[in-house]
Amino acid sequence: MDIEFMINCLPMYVQAAWLTLRIASAGIALALGAGLICALVRSAKIPVASFIVSAYIELSRNTPLLVQLFLLYFGLPKAGVYLSSQMCAIIGLVFLGGSYMAEAFRSGLESVDKAQRESAESLGLTKFQTAIYVVLPQAISVSVPALAANVIFMIKETSVFSVVALADLMFVAKDLIGMYYKTNEALTLLVGFYLLILLPVSALAAWLERRVRYAGFGNPA
Amino acid sequence: MDVNLLEVEQLRKSYKDAEVLKGLSFTLARGDVLVVAGPSGCGKSTLLRCINGLEPFQSGVIRLSGRDLTAPGVKWTEVRQKVGMVFQSYELFPHMNVLDNLLLAPRKAQGLSKSEASARAASLLERVGLKDKMKSFPRELSGGQKQRVAILRALMMKPELMLFDEVTAALDPEMVREVLDLMLELATDGMTMIIVTHEMQFAQAAASRVLFMDEGEIVETSSPDVFFTFPKTDRAKQFLNIFHFEKKERRH
């Protein structure tokens, strides 16, 4: 192992890791929002919108992210829409993650008994207040393990972004291998940096899961 | 002339082909305690759910303080603030402590200030001896305590009418008493109530009137004394026999 080479490469990796993190955060935040909206639309059974959401979820979950990104990066310009690499990456990630988040929220929403909603409404709360104060807090706490798994999944999926010429971690590693043939060093750093990002996220997720476990309401572990 | 608090006229409700309520009519004066009795599946719970707007119905009129609830423009969120409902399965909000369970609706639906709502909650909890449970979560309470908190939660809105839907049916026998005692106390205080229950002895003690239903129809309406001793109809007699055990001669 060429340690000196690895040290020299560190700044490039740090920069790439930062980019990966930024895009992943933006993508995850937007996917959470999109997923929640999709899940609510489906659970409220809004006629046309429900159908569109279902179609989107099937399309998104049953096509690879790589294919989705190709479509955005190479297909859209043919239709006269030009997106930057970063834009493509974020949109692609949201398109992919949104459906997974929607399914996670849906499982949570379905776990809240109908009688909970009725008892809230019987007190004179509006449907909106019932959703905000009664249904969602319970639903989200049930969804947390699935949401956390999705977050980790989405961060890992960012490794595909190098195909849209985005200088993320994977891109930097491939670049270094191509230029210097230092395969071992480049890949070791790559694994190290992914772990550096993902281990804390996993630990945070595990803590959060313990914290909101349904039976533990009022008894934070 | 004082209008009745509740008037139900020709209430009809069906699920697909099955007619569950076949044109019910009755009235309830302020302070009345109406016990609705009848076999399972006769439409008792559905009746309560219709009065509270949880169940849509096909035809008929429900009037609360003379106001037609089926008229266009009626806001059920406002109606429900005046009509409290307690469910068999308590339905406390598991992610909130007792106090927050009590405060949610008065704060959000009535816009009460936190101090005013808290004071109301404290005095209610004090009254039923659950003040020390204020910060407890529902899962830390016994069934009887949960159901009493659920009753208080409905009382927080200062309702004019309370609906009780088999509120002791899920409770262990030793928990039933504390819940029924609270309801009896409310009745004594003059609260207008409709109680669906299978606790016949309680019904006899609490009711000002008994409405006996079978297969979606009102079979008879009587004072409790008449209903429990000399029911007018055979169907009511049959029903009451379910609760009656005769000591049989031992064979040897």
Each residue of B124-137: pLDDT tens digit? 999 999 999 999 99
Contact A31, A154 (CB under 8 A): yes
Query: Do A124 and B105 make contact, defined as CB atoms within 8 angstroms?
Result: yes
Q: What six digits make up the tokens of A84?
A: 């930057």
Q: What is the pLDDT, as a whole number, of residue B2?
A: 64
Residue B25 has pLDDT above 90, yes or no: yes
Query: Do B91 and A116 make contact, defined as CB atoms within 8 angstroms?
Result: yes
pLDDT tens by residue, B108-165: 999 999 999 999 999 999 999 999 999 999 999 999 999 999 999 999 999 999 999 9
Task: Chain B: give the shortest CA distance to residue A198, in Å.
Answer: 30
The answer, for B169 touching chain A at a CB cutoff of 8 Å, is no
Q: Which of B76, B95, B154 sits opposite A217 (nearest CB)?
A: B95
φ/ψ of A34, rounded to 5, equals -65, -40
Interface probe with A: pick from B77, B137, B140, most Cβ of A within 10 Å: B77
Beta strands B59-64 and B217-222 are unpaired
Query: Do A118 and B87 make contact, defined as CB atoms within 8 angstroms?
Result: yes
Residues of B in contact with A214 (CB under 8 A): 94
Q: Which helix or strand (DSSP H or E) is residue A210 part of?
A: helix A183-212
Q: What six digits make up the tokens of B5?
A: 């608090």
Residue A125 has pLDDT above 90, yes or no: yes
Domains and CATH numbers, chain A: 3-214 (1.10.3720.10)
Q: What is the sign, positive or negative, of the torsion defined by CA atoms of B46, B178, B34, B201?
A: positive
> Residue B13 and residue B63: Cα distance in Å, rounded?
16
Confidence of residue A221 (pLDDT cuts 50, 70, 90): very low
Q: What six digits make up the tokens of B50?
A: 């219709």
Residues of B in contact with A134 (CB under 8 A): 93, 104
- Mean pLDDT confidence for B221-242: 91
Residues of B in contact with A142 (CB under 8 A): none
ipTM: 0.89
Q: What is the pLDDT, as a whole number, of residue A24?
A: 94
Mean pLDDT of chain A: 90
Query: Do A124 and B136 make contact, defined as CB atoms within 8 angstroms?
Result: no
> CA nearest B238: which of B42, B22, B39?
B39
Check whether domain B6-42+51-241 has CATH 3.40.50.300, yes or no: yes
Instruction: Give Rg (Cα) of chain B.
Output: 19
Q: What is the pLDDT, as a whole number, of residue A138?
A: 92
Q: What is the DSSP string of B107-151?
A: HHTS---HHHHHHHHHHHHHHTT-GGGTT--GGGS-HHHHHHHHH
Angle ∠(B97,B101,B104) on CA atoms, nearest 5: 130
Helix (H, G, I), strand (E, B) or coil at B88: coil
Residue A214 has pLDDT above 50, yes or no: yes
Contact B85, A119 (CB under 8 A): yes
Instruction: List, as ranges, residues 116-135 from B with C-beta within 8 Å of A.
Output: none
Mean pLDDT of chain B: 92
Task: Chain A: give the shortest CA distance to residue B91, in Å.
Answer: 6
Widest CA span in chain B: 71
Q: Which of B95, B105, B140 sits opposite A125 (nearest CB)?
A: B105
Q: Which of A123, A129, A217 sits opposite B94 (nearest CB)?
A: A217
**Residue extents of the structural domains in chain B:** 6-42+51-241
The answer, for B52 touching chain A at a CB cutoff of 8 Å, is yes
Beta strands B33-37 and B192-196 are parallel
List residues in chain A touching B: CB distance below 8 A: 113, 115-116, 118-126, 129, 133-134, 137-138, 141, 214-215, 217-219
pLDDT tens by residue, A134-163: 999 999 989 999 999 999 999 999 988 888
The answer, for B85 touching chain A at a CB cutoff of 8 Å, is yes
Q: What is the pLDDT, as a whole number, of residue B137?
A: 93
Interface probe with B: pick from A112, A114, A117, A119, most Cβ of B within 10 Å: A119
Interface probe with A: pick from B80, B91, B147, B158, most Cβ of A within 10 Å: B91
Instruction: List, as ranges, residues 146-165 from B with C-beta within 8 Å of A.
Output: 150, 153-154, 157
Query: Do B105 and A138 make contact, defined as CB atoms within 8 angstroms?
Result: no
Residue A22 class from Cβ within 10 Å (0-12 exposed, 13-18 middle, 19+ buried)? Answer: middle
Per DSSP, which regions of chain B are E strands? 6-15, 18-28, 33-37, 59-64, 67-68, 83-86, 161-165, 192-196, 209-214, 217-222
C-alpha separations of A116 from A192, B89, B173 in Å: 47, 10, 25
Q: What six digits make up the tokens of B31?
A: 């302070």
A/B interface, count of CB pairs below 8 Å: 77
Confidence of residue A75 (pLDDT cuts 50, 70, 90): confident
Query: What is the crossing angle of helices B114-127 and B143-155, to 10°?
Result: 130
